[in-house]
Structure 1
Amino acid sequence: MTTGRRPMTGPGLNRRRVLLSATGLGLAGGALTSIGGLNAQGQTKILVQYDWLMGNGQIGDIVAQKKGFFAEEGLAVTFGAGGPNAQTLPPVLSGQAQIGEFSTTSQALVAYGAGRPIKLFACGYQYSPYAYISLPRSPIRHPRDLVGKTVAVNPNGRFTLQLIMALHKIDPAQVRIVTMGVDMTPLIAGQVDAVTGFLTNTKALSVLGPDRVVMTSEDAGVTSYANPYFASSETYESQKPALARFVRAAAKGWGWAYANRQEAVAIMCDAYPNLERDVERDTVDIVMGIAFNGATKAHGWGCFDNARIARQIEIFGSAEGTFKTRVPDLAGFATQEILELTSAARPRLG
């Protein structure tokens, strides 16, 4: 299965990778082209470049495509799958892709903080499913439980753990950090007290049994939205109506998937046969619980809170060197305008 996440990035942001992927193409300026013109049917062409492989994190987008919701909005939408060797930012900055979706707002903030001209306009997930997983024999339910523990993180996960320790005034010398891949064996064998993973990667987590203990990075105070949609600043300013049509259709897809979960899984797995149908059936409720919550019930799918983004900027800015060129300003980095334009169409569920 896929998690809809870049496991080596997640909220443990890979600043070097984000920046090199842009500078390698010399894309420090604005986009070279905008929305991709019209097809033979007169539909506006949009390419969405995702950060990771297509999977349950994009189930609503896939439904919107296969059910014809994008077509109803006059859009011809194609998906550019990401992956470990793919680059998310350069296609958006060059205009090859009109919309990008990072794994987390952490990546978007780092790119913007390095001077890249992007604009965040919606968030598919209300929080990051990145988590610290432990077992009842040595549980980590709260940040202070990290004291005296050994925690295995992915290679780029140290940054988030360091932020958590700083937020809760934990002496780093009191937490032993080791590097791991995706194997849960060290936790099962008692070699470590916690591992990191994604709540949506239920197949990997299943070996730990139902009694596993979970503390998300959000639980630990490191605020972050996930699956944020963004465009280059140039595309955003010139193509707001098309972006609004995209969000309306995507929101309809996510609302349909919320109400018809098993049918949505079937549509997704038919479109991407590499996905394991049984695993995705067991995971879809978790996905919907991350995409929809009290905030979306009040403000609709895709919403984000400016105060939470501002708090994330504050937290990340407290770590020296996170923002290479500038500290992100909220008004420049993110906009509520597309959400306001689509307010009536975005399902209020949660």
Structure 2
Amino acid sequence: MQSADAAPSTGMVAEQITAEVSAWVGSASLRGLVRHFGGDWPAGDLAEVLRFLDDFSARHWDFRQGRERPEAREPTLDARTSRLVLDAAATLGMVRPSLPARGAYAHLVVLGGLAHACVRRVAYAAHLLRTGVRVTGEVAVLGSFRPLSEWERATLADAGLPADDTEVDVLDTAVRRVFGVTAPTEQDGVDAGHPHHSWSSRTYRPAGLPPVRVLAAPSSEPHRRRAHTADTQRFWAEHVQLAPGDATLMVTAPIYVPFQHCDALRTLAVPYGCGIDTVGVDPALADLAVLPEQTLTPGRYLQEIRSAVRSMRALHDLLR
């Protein structure tokens, strides 16, 4: 599940999305995982299946417990279980990268994340542009003022990269390095004295390429948490004035494609009527060698299967 065209009516969009969600959550791979972890598949409709999977994954596959991803507990799994998880993740579209479905888009959106992922995704976006993907609008690089962990700082230092302070700092540094720009041509923002309330926007204009905007979003629930993926997508859509029919390409890592694609459908495709394609970075590209991908364990895949389930449940609730 990584592509959804804009459709002429909300009803048609809802039918297409519901069919794709149903196919993903009802796959033999996911059913097999649930069975292996002791679950009995429910007999109800899609809403009941999603509710069950949300509750089941909370009990068996939530190793973060509200913490950031680097702080998640790594479960102890036997060899058979590990193989089953990795096979399921591959079947569910979370392992192998895929190419963009189109040759041209209105916008290209790079989603932020952990420091090494920020660097890799910006580099991959530049690779796509320089190898033929056309963008008529802008490249949007989305993040927040989330402080970097000590692990992220060490990862950057080991690669000889600047030890920035926040996620958006890493994205901004990567844009300057990868696109060969030195200073923004436009910038705006609000320093509210707290990262959950603040925002910033910097636009660069690399020669021969579309403008690149680095955007840090505020949280929609600043009293509870930092800005998350959906916050950054909504904030960008308001800034760019996203229009019906705008084909938008999202860049993330393969492990996050199902989860973040569904977030984009919920926050962008449904309310704005735009088309969404979501692709994962190709780890084999030499352009990305500066910061190799971290080892993805079976525990990480189980955690992100849970993320995908929760995102699909929120999307389905919106469409009901």
Both structures adopt the same fold (TM-score exceeding 0.5): no
TM-score by length of structure 2 reads 0.31
Greater percentage in helix: 2
TM-score by length of structure 1 reads 0.28
